[in-house]
Chain A
Amino acid sequence: MNLILFIFIVLLGFTSYYFGRRKAYTIQSTNKRLTALPQFYGYYLAIWCAIPAFIIFSLWAIFEPTIVKLLILSDYSNQGYLDDELNLIYEKTKALSRGQFTGEITPFIEASAEKYLSLRSIAQSSKAVIVLSIIIASVAYAYKKISSNSRTREPVEKFLKAVLFTASLAAILTTVGIVFSLIFQTIDFFKVIPLFDFVFGTHWYPAKAFVRDSSEALDPTMYSDTFGAVPIFAGTFFIAFIAMCVAIPIGLMSGIYLAEYASVKVRQYAKPLIEILAGIPTVVYGFFAALTVGPFLKEIGNSMGLDVSAESALAAGGVMGIMIIPFISSLSDDVITSVPQSLRDGSYAMGATKSETIKKVIFPAALPGIVGSILLGVSRAIGETMIVVMASGLAANLTLNPLESTSTITAQIVVILIGDQAFGDPKTQAAFALGMSLFLVTLCLNIVALRVVKKYREKYE
């Protein structure tokens, strides 16, 4: 029903566009100058069709359910039901009307369900009638109004601006919403677990929180030594560090090779090949790390008499580094290629060799972009989850030995939220606290990145 109505409105929109344009052509044919191109007259009418339709649809969506509920429940008023019971009755009514009710059907509910259905159909048909008549009225009004000297271009441009603004607003509001939900849940978490314990505690053992029966009273003391985030922060930075040790040199050098040394042919094939690396899902890297690299490192270590765990930070970090190579390589290649040829010519004409030119002219000029690509790689490394979960284990050891297993913030969020969770439980809220701290870390990283880039921009441009 709604779909048909919607299609009908879209058709009406097209029709009004057509009529608007036709009227403009008619005006034009009488040798009068128009204030805008004929299309604008068409768009103008289409907007007069779209806006009322949108307003009525939204109003209906907001008020229809409330009014229907009021009408249904008015039958039950003065019978001494509590609010909760009334809500339950209403839910039963809706379920029965959809044919999904499985409990005992009382005549009362059955009557309500019938009433519900009839109310809904009345609402639907009145909505259709109201929408269509208002649209037709508004389009007809606008159609009559437009003449050779009426303004149509400005309203159309304004409408487009408003649409674009709404789109960006939606993106911003979503972000703000997520941040706020993080903040509130985090605050709740810190009501139970002291901030000090979280930031400086060296024991992360959320499994302890799982054994609590939810019927037990909440006793904060039982969580001491449970949510100390130092080991997982250390693990996060440690694994990211290992990853960047692999990714930065290889990525940068391959970027420089592609941009400066590779022939057109080689670059044409090599660049997409490297970019394919970026398209491999991280899960694949994860089992590659867990099933191939981890055991391989363990074997090598054992043959050298070292005690290597099969799930090691080295395996996770190394594979993560390989995952990040294409980001750094491809981005720095782009940045280096975009350094103007005139700078290269200037340097070559001074008798500089290729490597001198790269080192002294091109690299400094491309530095802001290269720093940007590296920081992008770092935030990928910090945010990466799957490889760590699969290859570095879930035990949050506080260690700086790359051969032992360790865990990261994101991996621990996975651990906490897998399976059943209860809202308002510290172990669930811990995930929000971790998410919040991760957010703060990447935010700081981005701010630092912007600063660095800006500083060098000022110096080099």
Chain B
Amino acid sequence: MIKINSKNVDVYYGKKQALFNINLDIEENQVTALIGPSGCGKSTFLRCLNRMNDVIDICRVKGQIIINDFDINDKSCDVVRLREKIGMVFQKPNPFPKTIYENISYGPTIHGMAQSKNEMDEIVETSLKKAALWEEVKDRLHEPGTGLSGGQQQRLCIARAISVKPEVILMDEPCSALDPIATAQIEELIDELKKDHTIIIVTHSMAQAARVSQNTGFFHLGELIEHGSTDKIFKNPENKKTQDYITGRFG
């Protein structure tokens, strides 16, 4: 089933066009990997999906991105509601300078999701459990989140993202600042999370894309060159550029 349907998406930074006519469908409850060399626009595309490009003054987005039969680029779209439905995890772990508990309760509080302290405790616990962090931090929930290790911080950020029960989770190179062990943990987590969430992950690691994703899109110079099932892209790419990139001939 198609979760996100993007039609003719163009993105401009000032006068420079960063994305050209992107048409990409994202399958529900699957992991979609976006790969491509640096500066090819895959992160820009990812940020279109929860309108994070609004934060950048000079950025303009054209085209349609339809989620749940609704165009998120339409004027009537409420960005606050949109971002509640579409969570995001960033390249560098960015926990708030607050306690672990407050990091998780942040989203549910601003969206008014818990009526009582008990409910909030429950949300915090399930989110941390889902992010496979609960066992490590359950005794120090009220210590600063910034005191955790890099891998733990990133899982805290994932827990923060899933605390508001988003339908989609966007991940922008979530493992690029982590060591191999922490990376393996996050990848395992992604596999687990796809049961309840649709996941789109930008990655520079071809191996990671092959390991975690069911679908892959290959970007090059702002264009979507090829997309399809990960198996097909990696074993049997149609486009020569894709093949060159996959086999490591450029990028």
Q: Which residues of A contact B (CB under 8 A)?
A: 263-264, 340, 342-353, 356, 360-361, 364-365, 459-461
Contacts and interface: CB of A to CB of B under 8 A. Distances in A.
B55 A344 contact: yes
Interface stretch (B105-113, B130-138, B178-186): B105-113
Interface in B145-165: 146, 157, 160-161, 164
Interface of B: 50, 52, 55, 57, 79-84, 87-88, 90, 92, 94-98, 106-107, 110-111, 144, 146, 157, 160-161, 164
A340 B94 contact: yes
B205 to A, nearest CB: 21
Contact of A460 (B50, B90, B144): B144
B92 A461 contact: no
Contacts, number: 77
A346 B80 contact: no
Which 7 pairs from chain A and chain B are nearest by CB? Answer: A351-B83, A460-B97, A349-B88, A342-B94, A351-B84, A350-B107, A346-B94
Given A263-B57, A360-B106, A350 B94 contact: no
Contact of B83 (A350, A364, A459, A460): A350
Contacts of A349: 50, 52, 83, 87-88, 90, 161
B144 A351 contact: no
A459 B144 contact: yes
B111 A264 contact: no
A129 B97 CA distance: 68
Nearest to B146: A461
B82 to A, nearest CB: 8
Contacts of B94: 340, 342-343, 345-346
Given A264-B57, A344-B55, A351 B97 contact: no
B106 to A, nearest CB: 6
Given A346-B96, A351-B80, 7 more contacts: A343-B96, A346-B157, A347-B96, A351-B110, A360-B96, A361-B96, A364-B97
A350 B97 contact: no
Contacts of B84: 350-351
5 contacts: A344-B55, A346-B157, A350-B84, A360-B110, A459-B144
Contacts of A460: 97-98, 144, 146
A345 B157 CA distance: 12
A347 B164 CA distance: 13
B113 to A, nearest CB: 11
